Amino acid sequence: MDAFIDFFTHLTSLQKLIWIIGLLTVFWLFEGAYPLRRFHYKKWAHAMPNLILLSSTILINVLFGLATLGVFNWLEENEFGLLNLVEFPVWVELVLAIMLLDFLAQYVVHFMLHKVRFMWRFHMVHHSDTNIDVTSGTRHHPIDFVMRETFALLAIVIAGLPLAYYVIYRVLTILFTYFSHANISLPIWLDKIISLVFISPNTHKFHHHHKVPWTDTNYGNIFSLWDRAFGTFVYHNPKDIVYGLDILDDDKSNDILYQLKVPFIYKKNNMEI
């Protein structure tokens, strides 16, 4: 177990990038072979704005990592945080850390991104995609992602997490993000079994429906447990889902400049949620 933890402690930026590119490639290929929906769109034209936003996400993540190295060192030196108050096996600590991070840095902040008007303005960019596929998982306005990372830092400090635990969580988050957004068709019975504990592809697709109430459901990223516990879980016929956002211009879904301006256009025009 020590070797496993040590590997993630020293995981390089290049290795993380290979993980991202590898997962995007795998799910891209699966989408071609087993599509949930056969979209009539230019896949690369659709992917381009999402990959541009991915580049900003990677940059923010690198800067966040550099800025928080001191935090991880301080937590270790001062034995601060909940995990330092108890003695658990490493694997138990790791599971608890992943669950706490998924709850605070995914479910809670995602719920707030929908309910707090200022935050929603930036999160709208993610929901404006009218053709959901694996690249849609990379579609986050830079300020949206900064808010998510801020909540991750809060979870890190509360729990007193070591760096390796956070890196493992990030690796899993990337996997589940691309898995749940991928335009892949799983047998309904299998998708439903997965959704009992985890966020499955169909489960997350309801969250991308173009209007409420489905838009305000299924906030989880790794675990569906939070949605089930707080009454925000739904599962219906995926054929009824319409992607996009009914308060934005669908024709500009792939216009990167428009997407970056969306939060400010929304504010300027006093558009209603």
Mean pLDDT of the chain, nearest integer: 92
* Structure-model confidence comparison of residues 1 and 157, the more confident one: 157
Torsional sign, CA 187, 190, 196, 202: negative
| Structural domain contains residue 115 | yes
| Structural domain contains residue 253 | yes
154: domain range? Answer: 2-268
pTM of the predicted protein model = 0.92
How does pLDDT run across 190-225, given as a tens digit for each residue? 999 999 999 999 999 999 999 889 999 999 999 999
How does pLDDT run across 100-143, given as a tens digit for each residue? 999 999 999 999 999 999 999 999 999 999 999 999 999 999 99
Beta strands in the chain (DSSP E): none
Q: How far is CA 205 from CA 42, 156, 221, in A?
A: 20, 29, 12
Band of the pLDDT at 63, cuts 50, 70, 90? confident
- Residue 46 contacts residue 152 (beta carbons within 8 Å): no
**Neighbouring-strand partners of residue 209:** 243
* Structure-model confidence comparison of residues 178 and 75, the more confident one: 178
How does pLDDT run across 174-196, given as a tens digit for each residue? 999 999 999 999 999 999 999 99
- Residue 192 contacts residue 238 (beta carbons within 8 Å): no
With both helix axes pointing from N to C terminus, report the angle between 43-78 and 256-268 in degrees, rounded to the nearest 10: 70
Check pLDDT > 80 for residue 272: no
- Number of structural domains, the chain? 1
| Structural domain contains residue 192 | yes
pLDDT of residue 69: 85
Band of the pLDDT at 267, cuts 50, 70, 90? low
From the number of C-beta atoms within 10 Å of its C-beta (0-12, 13-18, 19+), residue 69 rates as: exposed
DSSP conformation class of 246: T
Distance CA 29, CA 181 (A): 14
pLDDT of residue 270: 47
- pLDDT average, residue stretch 257-267: 86
Amino acid at 237: N
Check pLDDT > 50 for residue 273: no
Band of the pLDDT at 66, cuts 50, 70, 90? confident
Percent of the chain past pLDDT 90, that is, above it, reads: 75
Neighbours of 184 (CB within 10 A): 20
| Structural domain contains residue 207 | yes
Check pLDDT > 50 for residue 164: yes
Check pLDDT > 90 for residue 85: no
| Structural domain contains residue 126 | yes
| Structural domain contains residue 273 | no
From the number of C-beta atoms within 10 Å of its C-beta (0-12, 13-18, 19+), residue 207 rates as: buried
Distance CA 163, CA 167 (A): 6
Amino acid at 205: K
